[in-house]
Structure formats: C-alpha cells, structure tokens
Amino acid sequence: MSGGFPILQFGTSRFLQAHVDLFVSEAQAWKGALGGITVVQTTANPASTERVRAMARADGFDVLVRGLVDGRPVKTRTVCRSVGEALEARTQWPLVRQRMREDVRVIVSNTGDSGWVSHQGDHAGLLAPDAAAPQGFPAKLVVLLHDRWRHRPELPPSVLPCELVSANGTRLRDLVTGIAQAWCLDQGAAEETASAGPPSERSSPAVRSRFADWLRTHVVWANSLVDRIVSEALVPVGAVAEPYALWAIERQPGLVLPCQHPAIVLTDDLARFERLKLFLLNLGHTLLADLWRNGGHPVDMTVLQAMQEPSMRDVLEAVWRDEVLPLLDAMGQGDEARTYLGTLRDRLLNPFLAHRLADIAQNHAQKLERRVAPLVALAHEQLPGLDQPRLRALLAAQA
C-alpha cells in the first residue's frame, strides 16, 4: 500500500523489533496503533540488508519473550506484523523521500552509538531530487524534513529517537537544525514555498516561517527512554527479549504516539526514569563488560554467567551500594532505586537469555562516556563527599 504507513522507522535492530515494532503490532489487535511501519535500513552491512529483505516479505517475524515474572518462568512467541514496508536508504532513497511527503506522522530511530556522527560528504546538494542519501542520520532527517516542509508544512511529524542519549529529542533537534543552518536552507526557501503552494497552505504560519524555525517550533522532538534487554537476534529477522519493557516519553503539546501500549509511559519527569536505567542497568552492563574485557574470562561469557561469578558480582554490588545508591538517596530516589534494583537483579539473572558480554562491550569507550561520566559529574554536583573509586578508575583507564 503506497504511502499508507504513518510510522517511519530508522534502524532494523533486534531492539526495535522487540520494542517499537512489537508494541505497535500488539496495539493493532485492539486498534490502538496509529498504523503500520515503514522500516529504513541506514547502514550498508550485509546483516542489516538480509533483515530488510526478510521484513519486506511482509509475513511478519517472531519475537520470543523469555524470563521471570514474579518468580514464574514466562516463554511466549508473538508474530510481529506491524512492519508493512522495508526499504534500503542506499538504494531506495527516492522512495523514502516520497513516503515522507505522504502520510508519515511519527519518526522513530535507533541508529546505534555512532549513528549521530556527522559526515563531511553530507552537503546541501543532497536536497536535489535525484541525489543519493546522506551518510549521517541527522543529515537524512534534514533532507526528509525539508521535503515535508515544502510539501506538507501544516502536518509536522513527531520525532521519537530511541538512542540511549540523555535528552535525545532535544539533542537530535539541535543537530538537525544546526545542519539546516550550515546548509543555508532558510535563504529564500520559505518565500518560494509560499508562492508555489495552494492557497490553503500559502496562508499557513508554518509556511511563512523559515525552515529552521519550523524545525524548532513545529516539529515535535520527544525526549524518551527505552528499557528492555533484547539479547539475541533471530535469523534472518526476529528477536529474543525479556518480559520487562518500558518506553518513557516526556509529555509535550502536539506529541503523536505510534500506539497506545501498557509499556509506554508519558511523564513530566523523564530524568527520574533515566537515572534509574543509566545508573543501575546500563552502568551494570558496562561494568560487567569492563570486568570481562580485563579479566581473562571466556569469550562467549554471558551476563547470567557473570552474575554467577563472585569476583564480578561482588564488584557490581559494591559499586551499586557504595557509589550509586548514596547519590540517589541524596536526590530523593533511594526507595525507587532499591525497588528497581530488586527487579533488575532478576532481569540480569534471567536463565533464558544468552546476553553476551562481547555484544555489550561494543563501543565501550562511548558507553563509558555516556553512562559513567554523567554519574560521576552528578555526584560531584549533588554529593561532593561521595567517594567513587571504581567509577573514577573506569574513566581514567579510557583517558
């Protein structure tokens, strides 16, 4: 169905398959979804290409949920049917641009730890109708949103990045508007659009505004936080995940959600969710990965095995107890943190997931910068007397 999918998803990762894609598929059963998803592959690696080709068959893919809920084992299989179209940015970019001119209401993304890196080869000439896709994801968004501004400025989309970056919506907005300004896209473009559009659009305030202003004030950039362990990919497409799932999204005017779902929480205080996940779950993963990298452990060691190894588990528990919880106590989140930790220990001890530390250790330096450095900086600000020797040593080793 051409132009019939209101959700545009950048990324084909197993995480998105078991999170956004699954939520939308489940919501479709009770008519709580905005509609179907067009998935766009943003990388050129063969595994992603194989996934896109499998998704394009439109016969659904399996998501296996395995874990413990209130101490009871849970094992379910769901056929995810929310993906209606799958495209490759490298070879099908004109079609991606066409979709953006049509019915897209929501853009979601998970482009990995290096997905927001800028590329020197991305420039304003890529706005030409027959131009290739930009390399960088923010530059891709500039082209697509510029198309939308020129063709349907009265219907700005909501952008919900799922990348694990604090204030991810705000930061992505700043990257995109910065590129738009660097490409000088405001010079004369609004006047050209206003004179070319139909009368109903020529009078629209969105048309009269400059492109960068439209990006800042009309497009909805949602800060959000995702929390689900997705440990394995199925071949060629599909995923294995834990039962626990959360998508916390900062509430704001004009926000359009891809679906209604029990795991989606709208909040006015996203920072509380971020602190728990970043400073307990993500920090725990990164610390275990660091111990694995430097401890001569088996190449295929999993999180479960690490949690069963006293020399690793004891270090993790000590860091949580002595270097993290005192800070959260000082910030009034101690009780929440201990409740979250109780659930988290069960998640890390999930006997059904093969969550390899080698996978977690990818982009290790960037993860330390995102997960450990903010924690140390926050402690220095909120609780200056807190000693954090293990966390400081982690950062010093990467300096």
Q: Span 246-265, mean pLDDT? A: 98
Q: Classify burial at 368, counting beta carbons within 10 Å of its beta carbon; exposed 0-12, middle 13-18, buried 19 or more.
A: buried
Q: Span 73-100, mean pLDDT? A: 96
Residue 12 has pLDDT above 90, yes or no: yes
> What's the residue count for the chain?
399
The pLDDT score that the predictor gives to residue 83 is 96
The pLDDT score that the predictor gives to residue 38 is 97
CATH 3.60.9.10 assigned to 270-398 = no
How is 155-170 classified by DSSP, letter by letter?
Answer: SPPEEEE-SS-TTHHH
Q: Helix 310-319 to helix 389-398 angle, to the nearest 10 degrees?
A: 110
Residue-wise pLDDT for 129-144, tens only, equals 999 999 999 999 999 9
What's at 114, amino acid-wise?
S
Residue 286 has pLDDT above 80, yes or no: yes
Residue-wise pLDDT for 46-68, tens only, equals 888 899 999 988 789 999 999 98
The pLDDT score that the predictor gives to residue 113 is 67
Strand order in the sheet with 264-267: 224-227, 246-250, 264-267
Residue-wise pLDDT for 268-281, tens only, equals 999 999 999 999 99
Q: Classify burial at 286, counting beta carbons within 10 Å of its beta carbon; exposed 0-12, middle 13-18, buried 19 or more.
A: buried
The pLDDT score that the predictor gives to residue 187 is 55
**pTM of the predicted protein model:** 0.89
What are the domain boundaries of the chain? Answer: 7-267, 270-398
DSSP class of 274? H
Mean pLDDT of the chain: 91
Identify the CATH assignment for 7-267 out of 1.20.1440.120, 3.30.365.10, 3.40.720.10, 3.40.50.720.
3.40.50.720
175, 161 Cβ separation under 8 angstroms: no
Q: Span 302-321, mean pLDDT? A: 98
DSSP strand E in the chain: where? Answer: 7-10, 37-41, 61-69, 72-80, 83-88, 106-109, 158-161, 220-221, 224-227, 230-233, 239-241, 246-250, 264-267
